[in-house]
A = this chain, B = another copy of it.
Amino acid sequence: MIRVGPDDFDAAAELAALHARAGDAGAVATFTGHVRGEDGLAALILEHYPAMTEREIARHAAEAERRWPLLGVTVIHRVGRLVPGARIVFVAVAAHHRRAAFEACEFLMDYLKVHAPFWKQEERVGGTSWVEAKTSDDDAAERWRR
């Protein structure tokens, strides 16, 4: 299940839905990302390329299913204006075993945080500015290359 849009989500309900769908999953790993209120951030404003985002996330979810024996994947990503504390991303992966669930969940998060077609603005008291692409995150995604 992949969803990208402005609406908030209920991590609990998504976790339950994934587990129900995944059948005999022994392991469910999840990641929930929240906007951090560092350095006086008032909000993050996320823009994306809708047709490309859904297509690319689906492609990476399929890639995760090729690499690991998975029973289900949920990816939810929000866009629009998000204030500190707000949920921004949720990835949940069900598998028979914990290692596959953890690794696939990290793989999808590294992809989303680095290569997914999102652009972020930081809104502060002094104004709003575009976030530059980061190199350390790039390194995180690079480790999955092969």
Q: Which A residues are closer than 8 A to B by beta carbons?
A: 10-13, 15-16, 19, 24-38, 84-85, 96, 98-99, 101-102, 105-106, 109, 113, 140
Question: Contact: B102 with A106, CB < 8 Å?
Answer: yes
Q: Which of B28, B31, B96 contacts A28 (CB 8 A)?
A: B31
Question: Contact: B99 with A140, CB < 8 Å?
Answer: yes
Question: Contact: A33 with B27, CB < 8 Å?
Answer: yes
Question: Contact: B34 with A31, CB < 8 Å?
Answer: no
Question: Contact: A26 with B35, CB < 8 Å?
Answer: yes
Q: Smallest Cβ distance from A137 to chain B, in angstroms?
A: 10
Nearest-neighbor residue (CB-CB) of A27 within chain B: B33
Bound-complex Cα distance A63 to B33 (A)? 24
- Once A15-B32, A26-B35, A27-B33 are accepted as A-B contacts, the answer to whether A98 and B109 lie under 8 Å apart by CB is yes
Bound-complex Cα distance A25 to B35 (A)? 8
Closest 7 CB pairs of A and B: A12-B12, A26-B36, A28-B32, A30-B30, A29-B31, A102-B106, A24-B36
Give me 16 other A-B pairs in contact (C-beta within 8 A), A24-B85, A25-B34 excluded. A12-B13, A15-B32, A24-B38, A26-B34, A26-B35, A27-B31, A27-B34, A28-B32, A28-B34, A29-B29, A30-B30, A31-B101, A33-B98, A98-B106, A98-B109, A102-B105
Question: Contact: B98 with A31, CB < 8 Å?
Answer: yes
